[in-house]
Structures are given as structure tokens and as C-alpha cells.
Structure 1
């Protein structure tokens, strides 16, 4: 068993677990409740961690995690857009208006 990923945000660790399991790699999350002791111990010791159960799957899991993290850094951000409902200016990475919740206009 080996740790292949950690992140302060539990949701990211859970997402990575789901992605690895969809590839047939069995894993588990440790430190799920670690946030409750944050402040009493160094925060880096309470990060949620993703552990792969079979050592044979570790190289594949590490490669997948690295490739996935690289694609996150390369995600294209579209141009800012104006909300068709309320007229608010919204940054391109958002799919709905922060002000009224209306969906971004379809790209043509």
C-alpha cells in the first residue's frame, strides 16, 4: 500500500479516488476527519491522502495522477462574458453568473 496523492481539499482527493477506481485501481482515503484536529497538529499532517492498495498498481496510479494534474494546469479559460439575464460581467472560467445564477450563453 502506498500514498499517491494528497490535497487539502477532501473533494479533490475523493474525485481522484473515483477516477482511479474507474480504471480498476483499488484505493482508500486516509485522514478523512483530519480537519477536526487542524490547529492542534501541523496542517500538513491532516491532509486527506489517497492510498493505492496494491503495490503493483502504484506506478500506473502515480502516472495517471501526474497526467491529470498537468491537464488541470493547461485548462483553457474562455473570455469574460456578459450575463444575458442581469448584465453582470462574468470571468470566462465560470459557466453561470455569480450574481443571478443564469447559465453562460452558448459558444458559437
Structure 2
């Protein structure tokens, strides 16, 4: 196993886990909820962590996360991009959950114009 990602918010780690699972890379989350019981731990030591099970896929997993979080894989102006109503973060169309605050993508407005 190899720790590939950590974040102060567990929701962000679960978004990363989903990105890996979408590419067939098995992973587990550890320290989820540890911040509430951290006590004397330094805050960074209580962050939720994402571990991949197959270290031979480390390079691929790193690229998936880099694309998901750093490069975002999409132009902000591309069709389907959306902005989180809770925190204002701009997200690519492939995400249904905001990676910054964990809020869900709003449901599209459907109906007919009369």
C-alpha cells in the first residue's frame, strides 16, 4: 500500500477515491474522522488519507489525481462546466461533487418554456 493523497476534509479524499475508482484503481481511506478525536496530534497528522492498494499503479494514480485536482482536465469555459453554489469553486463537467467543499452539483433545471 502507498499513501497517495491527504486532505483536511474527508470529503475531498472521498472525491479523490472516486476519481481513482473511475479508472479501476483500488484504494482505501484512512484517518477519516480522526480530526474530531485528534487531541494532541498536529492538525496535519489527523488529515484523512487515501492509500492505493497496488503500488505498481502509482504513476497512473498520480496522473489521475493531478488531472482531477490540479489540471482539472477541462477549460473553465467548456460546455458543461459548473460553479458550486456553496463556495463558488469552478468545476469541470465530469465532477458531480465540489472538491473544495463537498457540496453536490445542483440538479439541472428541466421543463419547457411556454
Band the TM-score falls in, shorter-chain normalisation: 0.5 to 0.7
Structure of greater Rg: 1
Shift of 1:62: 0.8
* Offset from partner CA, 1:31-68 (integer Å, 9 cap, x none): 01211223421000010000000011111001111122
Match of residue 36 from structure 1? 36
The alpha-carbon distance between structure 1 residues 59 and 37, as it changes in their structure 2 partners (threshold 3 A), is same
Number of the residue aligned with 1:50? 50
**Structure 1: tracts of 5 or more residues without a match:** 78-92, 97-102
Q: 2: CA distance between counterparts of 1:25 and 1:76?
A: 27
Q: What TM-score does the superposition give when structure 1 sets the normalisation length?
A: 0.65
Give the corresponding residue for 1:22: 22
Give the match's secondary structure for 2:32: coil
Matches within 5 A, 1:1-108: 1-72=1-72, 76=76, 93-95=83-85
TM-score relative to the length of structure 2: 0.62
Q: Which residue of 2 aligns with 1:100?
A: none
